[in-house]
């Protein structure tokens, strides 16, 4: 299987070509191919590092093929699968051409791979209940898409249906208040430990408002955020970090002038702490997704604690974006789990109970900048001058408020007697302890299976948020096919990658998820979508007796797992990228 990147990688590693030539070849590759090349060189270097150690063990491991590795037998399988898939979801397929002329949807191109594009479409749902979604073809799926993180009680929990039906019956007047708006804010304040609560229409807006408050409070301009995070659609927080650490506008239509006000630092890195400390006089706020949903394995608790100390010391507002982790990993979200209290937190998803929302919470010091703070009717108090612009026709939409009230009440009720739900110790039968425990058990079982079968896959999780990760490979055809097969085995996921368990998932559902993952992977192995690579691995000196895991069937050499943690891999990757980019220097 000799692809262009393999050839280039070999030439570079064996130093058969001059640096100049290597750069030329590298520059000629597409961005994806560049990434593949770097991944290949990195894994060869890692293997080479292992070889330098004394106790070598010959072994092999599985690697997924990607679209450039397709052979006739793979193409034949894909063709058959596409036919089966067409029979499986004909009405959903039929619904696409009807939909997609008038209906513009960027998501349909997400992770699109030409060779399997016949199967690349969203199915059309008919209904959803509990842990299940049903499509218009009569298929029923266990839904682990979690509605992109919104869903924690399963579909249509009775308490929510009741609240929403009653709200609809009352009509949807927008100008005044809903009866429960104050109580909903109070519950959110109690659960999160922050004084004041503001509703917005979306998560994006919550982040816009929080950063605006930070700028208004400090009279400074720059917002620090971290590589790998996502904070919604606003130009205000969308920038990429280049090799030299500059912020670049994230795409067409986004102005560099906005990106110039954003500083993108490396997440979890000591240098980033130093940067914040040394540039605090220009930093209006630090915005953090404490556990980035796209890099769940990275949970830099000590970094966050230190960041909190520095931001307090230098009077820089710290904002946590807990859009996904908020009310997901515990009533206090990641801030509760890590024991780090920021100045403001942005939420969305779960508090909306299935309806669009965003929420900003924070101390009065910051939140008063929205409405001038509290004042009394019966004395001569007045709001302090209002400085921060805020609006939103639907920010306090009564349907949303009814859903938020019902959801927050349910969380309050189901965590009331649990001391550990909020600190993630998983010791009781409260809502989060139970849900998080159940997810851990599922993830551990699947991760053991991957390890035992020598599959280069792992599932990262944080509470009931989890994500499949193909180690050492960017999204390729094998990974894409796994998700198609999962669907055909009755499991609905989300193309964007984040998966979630809800309280509606039973142990039986989880067993079915596990079985479907195993079945899908067995098919892919059988059809040749994973290939065995011979490597030399070392028994790590830190391995304790009994740590070694059994090998995949079919191999004869004894196998140990090389202990390389993700931060090391990430660092190596970054070094390689910057090395290749600066090859000619
Ligand atoms: N921040 C984070 C961490 C998110 O994951 C998202 C969306 N998933 C947002 C902000 C934006 O939220 P919304 O899509 O509601 O605008």
Residue nearest to atom 15 of ligand 1 (CA): 203
- Of 312, 393, 324, 404, give the one whose Cα is nearest residue 357: 404
Computed on alpha carbons and rounded to an integer, the radius of gyration of the chain in Å comes to 25
Sign of the Cα torsion 546, 549, 554, 555 reads negative
Q: What is the pLDDT of residue 49?
A: 43
Distance of alpha carbon 567 from alpha carbon 300, whole angstroms: 10
Indicate if ligand 1 lies below 6 Å from the C-beta of 289: yes
Terminus-to-terminus CA distance in the chain, angstroms? 32
Q: What is the pLDDT of residue 399?
A: 98
Q: What is the pLDDT of residue 568?
A: 54
Owner of token pair 């993952």: 517
* Centre of ligand 1 from the C-alpha of residue 205, in Å: 9
Owner of token pair 């807006």: 205
Residue spans of the domains in the chain: they are 4-53+544-584, 67-152+423-532, 158-415
Give, for ligand 1, the residue of 226, 298, 324 to mutate: max count of ligand atoms closer than 8 Å to Cβ: 324
CB 211 within 8 A of CB 284: yes
Distance of alpha carbon 239 from alpha carbon 246, whole angstroms: 9
- Of 17, 183, 64, give the one whose Cα is nearest residue 476: 64
Predicted TM-score (pTM) of this structure = 0.83
How does pLDDT run across 218-259, given as a tens digit for each residue? 999 999 999 999 999 999 999 999 989 999 999 999 999 999
Residue 156 region by backbone torsions, left for phi larger than 0, else alpha for psi between -120 and 50, else beta? left
Which residues, given as ranges, of the chain have pLDDT below 70? 1-6, 14-17, 19-20, 30-36, 38-59, 419-428, 535-585
Give, for ligand 1, the residue of 201, 204, 494 to mutate: max count of ligand atoms closer than 8 Å to Cβ: 204
CB 220 within 8 A of CB 278: no
Q: What is the pLDDT of residue 115?
A: 96
Residue nearest to atom 12 of ligand 1 (CA): 203
> How would you class 21 by CB atoms within 10 Å of its CB: exposed for 0-12, middle for 13-18, buried for 19 or more?
middle
Distance of alpha carbon 62 from alpha carbon 423, whole angstroms: 38
Distance of alpha carbon 140 from alpha carbon 130, whole angstroms: 12
- Asked if the domains 67-152+423-532 and 158-415 are classified in one and the same CATH topology, the answer is no
Owner of token pair 């639907």: 394
Residue 339 region by backbone torsions, left for phi larger than 0, else alpha for psi between -120 and 50, else beta? left
- Of 344, 375, 46, 391, give the one whose Cα is nearest residue 194: 344
Indicate if ligand 1 lies below 6 Å from the C-beta of 154: no
Q: Which CATH architecture has domain 158-415?
A: 3-Layer(aba) Sandwich (3.40)
Q: Token pair for residue 133? A: 């979604």
* Centre of ligand 1 from the C-alpha of residue 229, in Å: 10
Indicate if ligand 1 lies below 6 Å from the C-beta of 231: yes
CATH topology of domain 67-152+423-532: 3.90.1150
Query: What are the distances in angstroms from CA 260 to CA 212, 237, 288?
Result: 16, 11, 18
Residue 499 pairs in a beta bridge with 466
Q: What is the pLDDT of residue 24?
A: 72
Q: What is the pLDDT of residue 548?
A: 32
Give, for ligand 1, the residue of 231, 322, 355 to mutate: max count of ligand atoms closer than 8 Å to Cβ: 231
Q: What is the pLDDT of residue 161?
A: 98
Indicate if ligand 1 lies below 6 Å from the C-beta of 290: no
* Centre of ligand 1 from the C-alpha of residue 53, in Å: 45
* Centre of ligand 1 from the C-alpha of residue 18, in Å: 45
Indicate if ligand 1 lies below 6 Å from the C-beta of 232: yes
* Centre of ligand 1 from the C-alpha of residue 204, in Å: 6
Backbone angles phi, psi at 177, to 5 degrees: -95, 155
């Amino acid at each position: 299987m000799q692809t262009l990147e393999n050839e280039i990688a070999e030439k570079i590693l064996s130093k058969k070509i001059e640096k100049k030539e290597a750069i030329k070849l590298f520059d000629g590759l597409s961005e994806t191919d560049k990434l593949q090349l770097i991944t290949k060189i990195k894994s060869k270097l890692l293997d080479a590092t292992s070889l330098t150690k004394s106790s070598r063990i010959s072994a092999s491991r599985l690697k997924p093929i990607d679209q450039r590795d397709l052979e006739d037998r793979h193409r034949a399988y894909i063709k058959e699968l596409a036919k089966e898939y067409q029979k499986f979801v004909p009405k959903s397929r039929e619904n696409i051409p009807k939909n997609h002329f008038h209906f513009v949807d960027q998501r349909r191109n997400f992770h699109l791979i030409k060779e399997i594009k016949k199967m690349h479409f969203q199915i059309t749902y008919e209904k959803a209940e509990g842990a299940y979604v049903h499509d218009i073809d009569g298929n029923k799926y266990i839904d682990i898409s979690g509605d992109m993180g919104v869903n924690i009680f399963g579909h249509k929990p009775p308490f929510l249906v009741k609240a929403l039906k009653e709200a609809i019956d009352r009509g949807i007047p927008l100008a005044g208040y809903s009866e429960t708006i104050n109580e909903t804010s109070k519950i959110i304040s109690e659960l999160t430990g922050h004084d004041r609560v503001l509703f917005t229409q979306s998560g994006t807006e919550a982040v816009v408002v929080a950063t605006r408050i930070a700028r208004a409070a400090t009279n400074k301009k720059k917002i620090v955020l971290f590589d790998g995070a996502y904070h919604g659609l606003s130009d205000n927080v969308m920038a990429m970090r280049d090799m030299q650490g500059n912020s670049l506008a994230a795409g067409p239509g986004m102005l560099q002038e906005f990106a110039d006000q954003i500083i993108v630092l490396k997440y979890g890195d000591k240098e980033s702490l130093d940067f914040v400390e040394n540039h605090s006089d220009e930093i209006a706020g630090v915005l953090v997704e404490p556990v980035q949903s796209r890099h769940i394995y990275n949970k830099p608790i000590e970094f966050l604690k230190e960041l909190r100390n520095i931001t307090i010391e230098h009077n820089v507002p710290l904002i946590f974006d807990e859009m996904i982790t908020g009310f997901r990993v515990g009533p206090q979200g990641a801030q509760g789990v890590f024991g780090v209290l920021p100045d403001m937190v942005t939420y969305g998803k779960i508090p909306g109970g299935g309806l669009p929302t965003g929420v900003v919470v924070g101390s009065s010091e910051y939140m008063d900048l929205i409405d001038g703070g509290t004042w009394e009717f019966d004395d001569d108090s007045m709001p302090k001058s209002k400085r921060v612009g805020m609006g939103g026709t639907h920010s306090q939409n009564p349907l949303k408020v009814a859903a938020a009230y019902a959801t927050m009440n349910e969380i309050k009720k189901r965590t009331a007697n649990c001391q550990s739900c909020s600190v993630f110790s998983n010791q009781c039968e409260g809502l989060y302890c139970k849900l998080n425990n159940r997810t851990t058990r599922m993830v551990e079982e699947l991760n053991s299976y991957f390890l035992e079968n020598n599959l280069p896959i792992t599932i990262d999780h944080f509470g009931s948020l989890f994500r499949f990760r193909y180690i050492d490979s960017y999204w390729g055809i094998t990974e894409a096919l796994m998700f198609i097969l999962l669907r055909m085995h009755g499991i609905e996921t989300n193309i964007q990658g984040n998966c979630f368990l809800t309280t509606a998932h039973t142990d039986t559902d989880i067993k079915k998820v596990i079985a479907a993952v195993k079945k899908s992977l067995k098919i892919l192995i059988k059809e040749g979508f994973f290939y065995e690579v011979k490597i030399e691995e070392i028994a790590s000196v830190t391995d304790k007796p009994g740590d070694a895991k059994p090998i995949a069937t079919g191999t004869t050499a004894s196998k140990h797992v090389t202990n390389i943690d993700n931060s090391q891999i990430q660092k190596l990757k970054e070094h390689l990228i910057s090395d290749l980019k600066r090859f000619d220097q």
